[in-house]
Amino acid sequence: MSILDLATPVSDTVESVNMIVYGDSGVGKTVFSGSGRDKGKNDLILAVEHGTSSAGRAGSKANVLTVRKWTELVEAIDELIEDPDRFDWVIVDSLTKVQDLIWEHIIGEARRNNPGRNVYARELQEWGAAQLMLTEVVERLNGSEVNVIYTALAELGTDEEAQEFKLPSIHGKGGKLAAWVCAQADVVAYMSVGRTSKGTEYRKFQFNKSPEVFAKDRFNLFPGKPVANVTLEKFTDKLLEGNVETPEATENTPKKESN
């Protein structure tokens, strides 16, 4: 048999979806995470960050697993990869905070070997390890059948023309790690709080890149200008629109045929 016999038509390859939702603290990332179909009852929030109660107050029925340590995160990911259909969406809230867990783990291990170790100084090889650990989380989840959303804080980067722009706050290699994580994502959306001319607040979602904001939408779900008050339910419906006849859609799983 030739390896080429394994090739399948592109329309038959169903991929899992991965997305980044980023924005400043308090914009509504966690509330969005809990806003899936059936009030999110088939979704799992991996709560690395404090503050999942905001989703509960907003009426979410999403499942929450509090993750306090790197080893707990790895254990959860191992099991999710084994059982990818258990939840419609798995939300890592937040990837920014996962980096803190990684550093706590690295410094904790170093101190076990050397109790006199300065906890504030970080050694060169540890930076490399920290980046690899984050890369591994993203690669394993994105490479699995799990539909995953990463939330992240926003920070300001600078492009070649010295123009400042927003991007997800993921530290490493002078911005290259954040760029790498974004390159792996199908959708990157920037969230902010908008205000109508009458002064009413709304949640603004930017799915397309502008000079000031990094964003992308591989599925072209929300072309054009930023959109208001997207919920995870609306996003999921949009993702499944057009292939409602497919088995995935009737099973309620947010999968998208690649095209």
Ligand X SMILES: Nc1ncnc2c1ncn2[C@@H]1O[C@H](COP(=O)(O)OP(=O)(O)O)[C@@H](O)[C@H]1O
State yes or no: cis peptide before 94, omega within 30 of 0. Answer: yes
Q: Does 36 help bind ligand X (rule: CB under 6 A)?
A: no
The residue from 14, 39, 41, 54 that contacts ligand X (CB under 6 A) is 54
- Least gap, CB of 191 to ligand X (angstroms): 7
* Contact present, 254 and 13 (Cβ < 8 Å): no
Calpha distance 55→157 (Å, rounded) = 29
Q: Does 27 help bind ligand X (rule: CB under 6 A)?
A: yes
Q: Does 51 help bind ligand X (rule: CB under 6 A)?
A: yes
- Draw the binding track, 205-234, toward ligand X (x: CB under 6 A; -: no contact): ------------------------x-----
Packing angle of the helix pair 70-82, 124-142 (nearest 10 deg): 20
- CB closer to Mg ion, 76 vs 129: 76
The residue from 16, 20, 22, 28 that contacts ligand X (CB under 6 A) is 28
- CB closer to Mg ion, 23 vs 226: 23
- CB closer to Mg ion, 189 vs 249: 189
Q: Does 66 help bind ligand X (rule: CB under 6 A)?
A: no
